[in-house]
Amino acid sequence: MKTTQLASNQCQNITTPMLLSLSMTGLTFCGADVGGFFRNPSGELYTRWYQAAAFHPFIRSHAHIDSDYREPWNFDAPYVDAIRDALRLRYSLLPYWYTLFALSERDASPPMAPLFYHFPTDERTFAIDNAFMVGDALLVHPVVHVGAQSVDVYLPNGVFSGNQEINVPVDLKTIPLFYRGGYIVARKGRPRRSSAMMIYDPYTIVIALDDADKPTATGYLYMDDYHSTDLSTARLYRMQYASSTFKFTRIEGTNNPDTPLIERIVIMSPKMTKPSRVYAFTPDGMKRDIEFSFTNSNGSRSALLVLRKPLVKAEDGWELHIE
């Protein structure tokens, strides 16, 4: 299901409310004609539209036959560069999108949803229709006004530094995107020409911890053969962080020896201190130290722990421990 007709700022502004309405009424695979179907968008409008569409369930650039050619490379360098970045971000999140739609088939939960769907007790979210959640983990506030230098973003409680409105400075490449504390997202970080070429690429696991005294986070990852309806190839994994331990557990399906490796694990925390050691317990019973880096550039609110080359597969039977 697609929306939007005109290449105008007004039509782009109403795209998010329309898609949220469709999502909440069961039409979850929805999107907008990037740039509008009729007329010709400016470079900045087209860029902002692509940046928003990178987080829509369905993304497509589509226009009337009489419209100007609007392939991204027909625009000047600042715009084509920003569009390329947005599309690479979209591709990197395809494992997350694939998982969201697999789960949506089970319980009808919308992959794209208004804030009040995920924060039903926060009355400030009831009137917000210019921002949305992608799954449980990501909050997106697209920049929709041409010439904008900042946007006001409301962050519900849940460690986005939550329950407050913040002003986010933006330039042409900025997409206000926030991870929700307590959730885990699987990504892939290698630029490819198509999603088919990404199948065996390694995963990056992003863990955003909550602000509890004993922080936790949970997420899911779904895999199958990516080209058929043969559910015998389907596997569903639970990713769970608790008590300084990360576990990757298969909860449905059977082992697949071709499952990709995990090449990086990124942990974001409002309370983390630098660990002395990180190690993995592997299925063969081995205990192996993991290389890591730690940064804390703004006090305890922005700690970042990056674990490199854990050399484990995205498969059942291993744990990661942080001391």
- CATH number of the domain to which 263 belongs: 2.60.40.1180
Please check whether residues 135 and 262 belong to one and the same domain: no
Domain-ending residue, one of 150, 179, 208: 179
Please check whether residues 91 and 239 belong to one and the same domain: no
Q: Which CATH number belongs to the domain containing residue 51 in this structure?
A: 3.20.20.80
pLDDT of residue 300: 47
Beta bridge partners of 103: none
Q: Which residues contact 202 (CB under 8 A, 6 or more apart)?
A: 188, 190, 260, 261, 262, 263, 264
Structural domains counted in the chain = 2
**Which position has the token pair 């002395």?**
276
pLDDT of residue 298: 61
The pTM of this model reads 0.94
**Calculated CA dihedral for residues 122, 125, 127, 132, nearest 10 degrees:** -160
Please check whether residues 36 and 160 belong to one and the same domain: yes
Please check whether residues 46 and 166 belong to one and the same domain: yes
User: What token pair was written down for 253?
Assistant: 């399906």
- Contact indicator for 137, 118 with CB cutoff of 8 Å: no
> Phi/psi at 309 (nearest 5 deg)?
50, 60
List the one residue out of 310, 321, 215 whose CA is nearest residue 278: 321
Please check whether residues 69 and 115 belong to one and the same domain: yes
pLDDT of residue 164: 83
CB-CB neighbours of 197 under 10 Å: 11
Where in the sequence is the domain holding 215, given as residue range(s)?
183-322
Please check whether residues 27 and 114 belong to one and the same domain: yes
Burial of 106 (0-12, 13-18, 19+ CB in 10 A): exposed
Please check whether residues 203 and 107 belong to one and the same domain: no
Please check whether residues 163 and 196 belong to one and the same domain: no
Between β-strands 235-242 and 150-155, what pairing exists: parallel, antiparallel or unpaired? unpaired
Residue ranges, the chain, pLDDT below 70: 159-162, 297-301, 316
Please check whether residues 242 and 192 belong to one and the same domain: yes
The amino acid at 81:
D
Please check whether residues 63 and 133 belong to one and the same domain: yes
Please check whether residues 188 and 210 belong to one and the same domain: yes
